[in-house]
């Protein structure tokens, strides 16, 4: 029996679009958004999808239809959000080490800016006195599934350190900037509500010293399970805690402020699958290797963070023959191995992988294609959206011509 994604079997997907491909289950994306909306009942709540997770226009359009805004970390992302039809007023730019050109792009397009350094706040203030801005604070705590994904605390490059929040106020008054919002994002892949609440409490304790805020932005970072049996984030519990804390804040602040949240991974991770075909098998004294026609240039998370991704043989999910194998990619790098446990290479049990079978790497919808590259001059794969038994191409696979783009011939 074959695995189906959005009601379409992997065999059909591979035959129609070739492999490797990313396939997204449309219904799962809308369900994730609905779950978020239902769990956080705070009335003035806005979700700004952190589109760094996945910027395919079809995904962005789905997110837009669901009524969400966008958190963009580059002007390229702002541009894509605009192309997907988002109104400028629904886009927030949370750049890091931004250039004057990026500030200018946002000003020209009336995109709200979130500034994360005193130096940059001053640069911005000098150039655009009297503007409205948000500031990103580093709450002195951080969390995440890997060191590279922790964006708070003393080791992090992000945000204005909370102890320096007063200096931000001084710069704002010097250049007549109106700070309308306080933001923080402490990291990615968080599964414990208490971790969010710790950062949120710190931010709100500081926010009360800022006058006339309209927005509190608690960032993204909501984790999803990647391991079999891993406990999911209790969204309802988190939502209740957030709502209660915001209500307390509003009472003492004397105003009902809007709450932003910027989930990326939560919206798309478990809706995406990377399909790769078995092209080789070999053994060493230690491992049985299964070679596939994809690599970390398509899904870098195992290589970059040691991330675990479940892998199944989509061509025979009901087989009761299991083999312990390492799934290796086709790049000229020994780190090009998809099978990781606790950040180390380790074999997975997969149903009888044979030449031509389609292995399905799960939870690949976030930070998959958006982190892909042409390393080894290999081509990026196609992306496909599947829904109720129908699959549509939403990005063509690259061709050799794409490798020449921009080169002076
Ligand atoms: C500023 C900001 N907001 C939101 C996110 C989204 O994080 P996640 O995909 O873990 O929800 C990120 C990701 O690092 C981020 O840098």
Among the three residues 253, 268, 283, which one is the final residue of a domain in this structure? 268
Give the β-pairing of 45-50 and 258-261. parallel
The verdict on residue 366 lying in a domain is yes
CATH number of the domain within which 46 lies: 3.20.20.10
Cis omega (within 30 of 0) for bond into 357 = no
What are φ and ψ of residue 357, in 5° steps?
Answer: -65, 155
Q: Whole domain around residue 357: which residue ranges?
A: 4-23+270-398
- pLDDT tens per residue, the chain (409 residues)? 999 999 999 999 999 999 999 999 999 999 999 999 999 999 999 999 999 999 999 999 999 999 999 999 999 999 999 999 999 999 999 999 999 999 999 999 999 999 999 999 999 999 999 999 999 999 987 777 777 777 778 888 899 999 999 999 999 999 999 999 999 998 889 999 999 999 999 999 999 999 999 999 999 999 999 999 999 999 999 999 999 999 999 999 999 999 999 999 999 999 999 999 999 999 999 999 999 999 999 999 999 999 999 999 999 999 999 999 999 999 999 999 999 998 999 999 999 999 999 999 999 999 999 999 999 999 999 999 999 999 999 999 999 999 999 999 9
In ligand 1, which atom is closest to the CA atom of 188? Answer: 10
Q: In what helix (H) or strand (E) does residue 26 lie, and over which residues does it extend?
A: helix 26-39
Q: How far is the CA of 370 from the centre of ligand 1 (A)?
A: 13
Residues within 6 Å of ligand 1 by CB = 50, 52-53, 71, 73, 94, 151, 185, 188-189, 219-222, 262-266, 366
405 within some domain? no
Give a yes or no: residue 335 inside a domain. yes
Domain-terminating residue out of 222, 242, 268? 268
Same domain, 202 and 257: yes
Find residue 303's DSSP bridge partners: none
> What are the distances in angstroms from CA 47 to CA 1, 93, 247, 267?
39, 14, 18, 11
**From ligand 1's centre to the CA of 277, what distance in Å?**
31
Q: Are residues 39 and 185 in the same domain?
A: yes
How far apart, in Å, are the Cα atoms of 39 and each of 33, 119, 147, 259?
Answer: 10, 38, 28, 14
CATH classification of the domain holding 292? 2.40.37.10
Instruction: Using most ligand atoms within 8 A of CB, pick from 73, 93, 190, 371 the residue to mutate for ligand 1.
Output: 73
Q: Give how far the C-alpha of residue 161 lies from the chain's centroid of Cα atoms, to the nearest Å.
A: 24
Pocket test for ligand 1, best of 144, 187, 219, 367 (most atoms within 8 A of CB): 219
Residue whose Cα lies nearest atom 4 of ligand 1: it is 220
This prediction has a pTM of 0.97
Q: Is residue 406 in some structural domain?
A: no
Q: Which atom of ligand 1 is nearest to the CA of 94?
A: 1
Give dist(CA 299, CA 145) in Å, integer: 17
Cα(223) to centroid of ligand 1, in Å?
11
Domains held by the chain: number: 2
Examine the residue annotation and report whether 51 is marked as an active-site residue of this protein: no
d(CA 100, CA 121): 12
Q: Are residues 353 and 391 in the same domain?
A: yes
């Amino acid at each position: 029996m074959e695995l189906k994604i959005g009601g379409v079997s992997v065999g059909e997907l591979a035959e129609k679009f070739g492999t490797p491909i990313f396939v997204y289950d449309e219904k799962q994306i809308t369900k994730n958004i609905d779950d978020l909306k239902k769990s956080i009942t705070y009335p003035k709540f806005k979700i700004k999808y952190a589109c760094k997770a996945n910027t395919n226009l079809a995904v962005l359009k789905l997110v837009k239809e669901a009524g969400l805004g966008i958190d963009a970390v580059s002007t390229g992302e702002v541009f894509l959000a605009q192309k997907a039809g988002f109104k400028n007023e629904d886009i927030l730019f949370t750049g890091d080490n931004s250039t004057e050109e990026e500030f200018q792009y946002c000003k020209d397009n009336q995109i709200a800016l979130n500034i994360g350094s005193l130096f940059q706040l001053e640069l911005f203030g000098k150039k655009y006195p009297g503007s409205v801005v948000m500031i990103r604070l580093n709450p002195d705590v951080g969390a995440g599934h890997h060191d590279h994904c922790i964006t708070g605390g003393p080791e992090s490059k992000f945000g204005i350190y909370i102890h320096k929040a007063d200096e931000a106020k001084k710069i704002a008054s010097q250049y007549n900037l109106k700070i309308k919002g306080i933001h923080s994002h402490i990291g990615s892949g968080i599964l414990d509500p208490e971790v969010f609440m710790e950062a949120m409490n710190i931010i709100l304790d500081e926010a009360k010293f800022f006058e006339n805020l309209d927005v509190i932005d608690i960032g993204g970072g909501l984790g999803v399970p990647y391991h079999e049996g891993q406990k999911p984030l209790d969204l309802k519990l988190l939502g209740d805690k957030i709502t209660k804390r915001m209500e307390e804040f509003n009472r003492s602040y004397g105003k009902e402020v809007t709450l932003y949240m910027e989930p990326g991974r939560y919206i798309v991770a478990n809706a995406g699958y990377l399909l790769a075909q078995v092209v080789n098998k070999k053994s060493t004294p230690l491992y049985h290797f299964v070679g596939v026609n994809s690599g970390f240039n398509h899904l870098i998370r195992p290589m970059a963070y040691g991330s675990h991704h479940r892998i199944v043989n989509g061509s025979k999910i009901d087989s009761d023959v299991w083999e312990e194998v390492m799934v290796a990619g086709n790049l000229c790098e020994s780190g090009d191995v998809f099978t990781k446990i606790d950040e180390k290479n380790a074999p997975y049990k997969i149903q009888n992988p044979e030449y031509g079978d389609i292995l399905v790497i799960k939870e690949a919808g976030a930070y998959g294609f958006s982190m892909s590259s042409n390393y080894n001059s290999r081509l990026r794969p196609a992306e496909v959206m599947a829904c109720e038994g129908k699959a549509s191409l939403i990005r063509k696979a690259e061709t050799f011509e794409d490798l020449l783009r921009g080169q002076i011939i």
